[in-house]
Structure 1
Amino acid sequence: MLQACNLDGEPIAAYQAESGESYYCPACHAELILKSGAHKITHFAHRNNPECAAHSEGETSEHLTGKLQLAQLLKVQGKTVIVEYYIEVLKQRPDLFVRHQQQNFVLEFQCAPLSVEKMKQRSEGYRRLGIAFLWILGERHRLQLGITQQIAQFIRWLPNLGFYLVYYSVKRKKLELYYHLEQADYLPVASLSFTTANFQELITFMKKPLRLVPQKLTSRQRSQQILKFQRDCFYSQGKIRELQQDWYQEGLVLQQLEFFFMQQSYSAPLYGVKQLYWKSKYLLAVYREKGKLAKLHQLGIRLQQQSSFSLPLVKLEHVWEEQLVDFNGILKKYHWFFRV
């Protein structure tokens, strides 16, 4: 915590506070202590660590330093920035509250784990008040080979950027935009990136009329997919085993159906499990209905919903529709398969 109140109720920043004086939390009014050391900048913390609705304890050095660096980035561009401004009606205290040209927006620099429900609650609170908000992620949420639910919940979508995430590197003092996020079974997540130390440059780039198309898989990537899929079928464990048993009842072998599941291109980063799981179940239903796709539309949507991450900031219905249309297009190419 970088802001507190003194005995007179006046706001005071941690770097201005004096040791031995009394300071209080602006949200819960509990007594605070002033902390400083070699690894963290000077900051406040609750003396008795109560359950304060507006603050989480144990802030990392990255979070404390990052808030100040981000505030400075905005201030040099003429914006009014209030660090840890307490919004009474929401019982929330965003990291940065920004005022610019009669508009308010907040920045949340998220370095620690956060449940989907808490993240959704905070975001909906800002929406109710008409306050624009942006979640900026720290190193803990850095994209690696794949996407996890802890990362996925912060994904947003724009027509010109596709699915995207925003990061801030305290070490490099840089804002990083990862956009055109895509995924494919058995392969690392794909993305494009833009890096800047200027917040206005980031906003300007995010408004550019970019024309993005799904990235096609190379022959090597498709070979990797097939090899890993065949390996999973050989070991026959977990969900793959369940799918194998379902197809065995129809007198068919799952690994011989790879031409249905292996993608030609990357697709939207929606799924917390391999896409071949929902596709196999949907394909099985279509097979049993002898290729009658129209009867199974709702099933295709429901199977995708069950396989998807929770993305509170994105409306997924239209994306599920697009994915189903694409997969149905593949099934129609192999119409001979359904002539039982």
Structure 2
Amino acid sequence: MLIAKIIENDQLIQATQASNSEIYYCPGCKARVQLKKGNINIPHFAHINGSNCDVSAEGETVNHLQGKLALFTLLKQKYDEVRLEPWLSQIKQRPDLMVRKGKDWFVIEFQCATISLEKVRARTKGYRQLNYKVIWILGENYQNKRLQARTIAKFAIIYQQQLQVAFWQPTKGIVWQAWWQIDGKSRVLKRQMMANQPQQLLKLQQAVMQSKPEVWPIQNELYKIKRLVIGIPWECHPQYSLPGGLKVAQWQVIIRVLLTLEKQPRTSFQLMKLLTEFPWQRFGCLSVKKVQKIWLNYLLDDLISGGIIKRTGDRIVLVRTLKWFNTYQEKLQAKLKIDTTNFLS
């Protein structure tokens, strides 16, 4: 850790300013700590062997200590007040940093090591009990590998009306990346149009031929109205990936939304209820409802842009009849015809 207390006067001091002639102790557990200052490692404090401090940051790597100090220096230039490793006695937690802008306080956790979802949730909950906003910033270890959706979900927050994750890069500072993904399997990407609708259809055809369980519920529902899952309208194969969290293929939710609107107009609140029937990632800093709301808003905006639906007051209305197909080949040929027409025009 980078902050300790001087035992004589209860004053907080940074390790870079500390002297070996003083006695220091942990602001949290009050146990004796040792100043470690050399020519190689960054000056820091460490609990003496045998301590069982629950909030100790023992085992901090050089990258973590360097990143924390760099963040401290950077944030001092942008915020009204910055605190390094403040001890929050009410909840017995010590975040890496706290910053203030006007009257608003933000807690910043700089995360380099692996951490469980439960710990992220517990720490975030503690800070929010004190009405602090929380931002997790991921260090180098999280940038040297392909991140899985469940990992990103631990740290994602809503920033600038998008689902985003913050990363620390020494040459660039704090970098925010929006989380756009397909089927919850791709890494953090910029949102862009997908020209892979035929591939989506092929994947669906394979799922049907292999009788995969994920297509059974919607297949059974469509049988009742004399339709086939392979024949769902092309509008159900999205051109844009939607913000992360959904753990099934997007077409499954889109078709349920469109089938519901086919019966009668619905409110956004009513459509939100449909989303709860599908599996979603477990988030560390957000409620699933907030993620579902963002997901639905982007879907509705895409459908409105495509001239498929419109808003009338507080209702969502289907404005044109969608084309259903009987076979894989019929559907594929229709797509090729549309693409050829658009290219020639």
TM-score, length of structure 1 as denominator length? 0.69
Match of 1:263 in 2: 238
Alignment of 1:295-306 (within 5 A): 300-304=274-278, 306=279
Aligned partners of 1:126 and 1:161: how far apart in 2? 22
Corresponding position: 1:184 with 2:185: no
1:37–1:337: structure 2 CA closer, same or farther, 3 Å change rule?
farther
Instruction: Show CA shifts across 1:247-295 (max 9, x none).
Output: 7775987656584753222212222444356568x59xx6xx9x75789
The equivalences for 1:78-93 within 5 A come to 79-93=80-94
Where do 5+ consecutive residues of structure 2 fail to align? 310-317, 327-345
Hey, what's the Cα distance between the residues in 1 that align with 2:139 and 2:275?
A: 33
DSSP 3-state at the match of 2:91: coil
State how 1:80-229 maps to structure 2 within 5 Å. Answer: 80-99=81-100, 101=102, 103-142=104-143, 147-158=148-159, 160-170=160-170, 172=171, 174-179=173-178, 181-185=179-183, 188-189=186-187, 191-192=189-190, 215-217=192-194, 219=195, 221-229=196-204
Go from structure 1 to structure 2 and tell me whether the alpha carbon gap of 1:141 and 1:78 turns closer, same or farther (over 3 Å shift).
closer
Deviation at 1:168, TM superposition (A): 1.1
The alpha-carbon deviation at position 167 of structure 1 amounts to 1.4
Secondary structure at the aligned position of 2:212 is classed as helix
Which residue of 1 is the match for residue 76 of structure 2? Answer: 75
1:310 corresponds to which residue? 283
User: CA–CA distance in 2 between the matches of 1:190 and 1:114?
Assistant: 19
> Contact conserved, 1:40 with 1:64, CA < 8 A, in 2?
no
Tell me: CA distance 1:80–1:300, structure 2 relative to 1, closer, same or farther (3 Å).
closer
Q: 1:275 to 1:100 in 2, by over 3 A?
A: closer
1:20 is displaced (CA, Å) by: 7.4
Distance change in 2, residues 1:272/1:111 (3 Å): farther
Post-superposition offset of 1:89: 1.1
Separation of aligned partners in 2, 1:25 and 1:153: 29
**Structure 2 residue matching 1:307: 3-state secondary structure:** coil
Aligned letter for 2:277?
L
The answer to whether the 8 Å contact 2:208/2:230 transfers is yes
1:27 Cα deviation from its structure 2 partner? 0.3
Tell me how many residue pairs correspond in the alignment. 303
RMSD, aligned CA: 4.2
Unaligned 5+ segments in structure 1 are: 193-213
Per the alignment, residue 214 of structure 2 pairs with 243
Distance 1:118 1:243, change over 3 A: closer
**In structure 2, what is the Cα distance between the partners aligned to 1:232 and 1:144?**
30
Shift, 1:186, TM fit: 8.2
TM-score computed with the length of structure 2 as normaliser: 0.68
SS of the equivalent of 1:177 reads strand
User: Which letter maps to 2:193?
Assistant: K
Q: How does 1:31-46 map to 2 (within 5 A)?
A: 31-35=32-36, 40-46=41-47
What residue number does 2:338 align with? none
Answer whether contact 1:273 1:308 (CA < 8 A) is retained.
Answer: no
Preserved contact between residue 126 and residue 132 of structure 1 (Cα < 8 Å): yes
Letter in 1 for 2:129: R
Task: Return the letter of the residue paired with 2:250.
Answer: Q
